[in-house]
Amino acid sequence: MAMKKRKNTVKNSKRRTVKKAKKTKKTAVKKEKKIIIDTNKLLRLEEARKYVIDVAGEKGLEVFEFLIAKGEMEENLLAKKLKFEKANAIRKFLYRLYNKNLVSYRKIRKNNKAWYTYFWSANPEKLVFIIREMYEEEIKQTKKSMELNKAEDFYVCDICNRRYDINEALQNDFRCKNDGGVLTHIESGKVLEDKQSRIDFLNKKLNELKQLVK
Ligand SMILES: [Zn+2]
């Protein structure tokens, strides 16, 4: 429906198209925030934990999990609860998480004081999105390499290792043109089978991920 709307706007004026496009984007972001995630299950997913640890370390995962459990929290209180010596020490982890959009903050100036108070919250839906993209990308790459493998179904000479495609091998009665060596069929079937089961596995994972989102 959004597409239809945008098309109509193109007819009217270009400037309005830009405005509309921006508006659509904003709405999409808002919608994303309303998503409810089964965070208990999410945090039990090995890939999800591994991703957060890669981004912000074990301590970063601890911060992320704590924010998910407790909801938005003021920075100093968060540091205290997680037994960081100073609020500064926790910032390193918060910023790493923030760089990947896994957390966000609000800053508030209280009673006209010179400094801001920061309130942090976790974005578990972003983690779901990232993991989903990882799975989808691997599926795409695996499918691509399966296509290549199909094309590479070949025969090879026992002696000189020269490669032949099926037609060439047939023409030469499965003997090498150079040295008469026997041409052996290289099984790409097994490779393809393995790749297919990886795709099946990833699709299963994707389904599990979808079930986390309500
Ligand atoms: Zn040969």
What is the bridge-based pairing of β-strands 116-122 and 103-109? antiparallel
Neighbours of ion ligand 1 (CB under 5 A): 157, 159-160, 162, 176, 178-179, 181
Q: What letter represents residue 214's amino acid?
A: K
Q: How far is the CA of 178 from the centre of ligand 1 (A)?
A: 5
Distance 182 CA to ligand 1 centre (A): 8
Distance 159 CA to ligand 1 centre (A): 5
Ligand 1 centroid vs 167 CA: distance in angstroms?
16
Query: At 149, is the pLDDT very low, low, confident or very high (cuts 50, 70, 90)?
Result: low
How remote is the CA of residue 153 from the centroid of ligand 1, in Å?
Answer: 18
Paired strand residues for 175: 182
Q: How many Å apart are CA 189 and CA 173, to the nearest integer?
A: 22
Q: What is the pLDDT of residue 34?
A: 67
Q: If you measure from the C-alpha of residue 163 to the centroid of ligand 1, how many angstroms do you get, rounded to a whole number?
A: 9
Q: Is the pTM for the entire model greater than 0.75?
A: no
Instruction: For residue 169, report the distance from its CA to the centre of ligand 1, in Å.
Output: 11
Q: How far is the CA of 148 from the centre of ligand 1 (A)?
A: 24
Give distance in angstroms: CA of 99 to centre of ligand 1.
56
Q: What percent of the chain has pLDDT above 70?
A: 82
Residue 205: its pLDDT value, please? 93
Residue 128: the pLDDT is 94
Residue type at position 34: K
Between residues 180 and 20, the one the model is more confident about: 180
The answer on pLDDT for 9 being more than 50 is no
Among 8-12, 93-97, 105-109, which is the least confidently predicted range? 8-12
Q: How far is the CA of 174 from the centre of ligand 1 (A)?
A: 11
Distance 164 CA to ligand 1 centre (A): 10
Q: How far is the CA of 186 from the centre of ligand 1 (A)?
A: 15
Residues 6+ apart with CB under 8 A from 6: 17, 20, 21, 24
CA 63 to CA 38: how far, in whole Å? 18
Q: Tell how far the Cα of 21 is from the centroid of ligand 1, in angstroms.
A: 62
Average pLDDT of the chain to the nearest whole number: 84
What CATH fold (topology level) applies to the domain 33-127? Answer: Arc Repressor Mutant, subunit A (1.10.10)
Please report, for the chain, the start and end positions of each structural domain, with discontinuous segments joined by +. 33-127, 135-211
